[in-house]
Amino acid sequence: MSEQERLFVVVNPTLDEHVALQRAIITAKLLKPSPLICVFVAIDPDTVDTDASNGKVYRNTYWFEEQIHGPLKAAGLEYKIEISWSSNWQKSIMCSAEQFGATRILIRAGKPKTSRRFSFAESKWELLKRATCPVLVVRDGAAEQRKVVLAAVNFQASPKHQQVLNDNIIGRGRALAESYNADFHVANAYIDSMLYPDRGRLLRETDLDTDKIHVIKGYTDEVVAKVAKDISADVVVIGTLGQTGQAKTRRGNTAERVMSALDADVVVVNSEYKS
């Protein structure tokens, strides 16, 4: 029997539509045994106007009953609610998720600033790079089904941390595919033909048929977006390095480009997460 999953859902109380919570409820119905859910209600001051004149920073019991209790009770799910007053949104999420024993964190991506591209605040990038469990970034309007899972790896890279990251991406992608009874595919982009990824190793380490391995020349974001479209991927698993020192201030440029190129939900794992 599988262990009970623990879904940690981040809700922005200034909104009236909660796509991460909606996705958690849909996901919970697919998982056996049914997971425990923690709804974490908190405002990210980097992205929300917290001035007293903003009427949406005030929420009463009716809002909680309608927006959170109601949907979860209707789905018959076991849950709890936590409310945070911390000004450190990212750290409060990580601390609470760790105490809860979260097996995955769900957050809303937000709408793009242009027709395609969206941008995360630094607090969200810190969460993606530091989280000790996978983070599901839910896109507004993304498909709710879970029939095809795509994992994006980088097998031509030699550093140890990249190899660990590849293992984490494949492990999470395979686990998702198994839990949803979905098809599992792997994509590997490359630019330099002299650094062509070892397809044999890809086959061995993924244990997939050749038609499920997509090794394509091009930039990562373009290749992953093309493969995702071609196979109708419902969720894409990507990685970001859990960097330390001076490198920790660098944004996840490749991860940001990949997410901007996709319309699907994205699961982000890092090299510090142990699959």
If you search the block for the tokens 């599992």, which residue do you land on?
184
Decide if 196 is inside a domain.
yes
- Give me the pLDDT at residue 248, please: 47
Is residue 175 domain-shared with residue 260, that is, in the same domain? Answer: yes
pLDDT for 274 equals 56
Contacts of 209-216 spanning 24+ positions with Cβ under 8 A: 212/183, 212/184, 212/185, 212/186, 213/185, 213/186, 213/188, 214/185, 214/186, 214/187, 214/188, 215/187, 215/188, 215/190, 216/187, 216/188, 216/189, 216/190
Q: Say how many domains are in the chain.
A: 2
Same-domain pairing of 99 and 173: no
Q: What is the DSSP letter of 10?
A: E
Residues 101 and 164 in one domain: no
| Domain membership of residue 89 as a residue range | 6-108
- Per-residue model confidence (pLDDT) at position 58: 93
What's the CATH code of the domain at 210? Answer: 3.40.50.12370
pLDDT for 245 equals 42
Read off the CATH number of the domain in which 65 is found: 3.40.50.620
The structure's pTM equals 0.88
Residue 140 domain-assigned (yes or no): no
pLDDT of residue 122: 75
Mean pLDDT, the chain cut into blocks of 10 residues (275 residues total): 85 94 92 93 90 92 96 96 94 96 92 55 82 91 87 86 89 91 94 84 92 94 94 94 50 74 90 61
Residue 118, domain member (yes or no): no
Output the pLDDT for position 145: 81
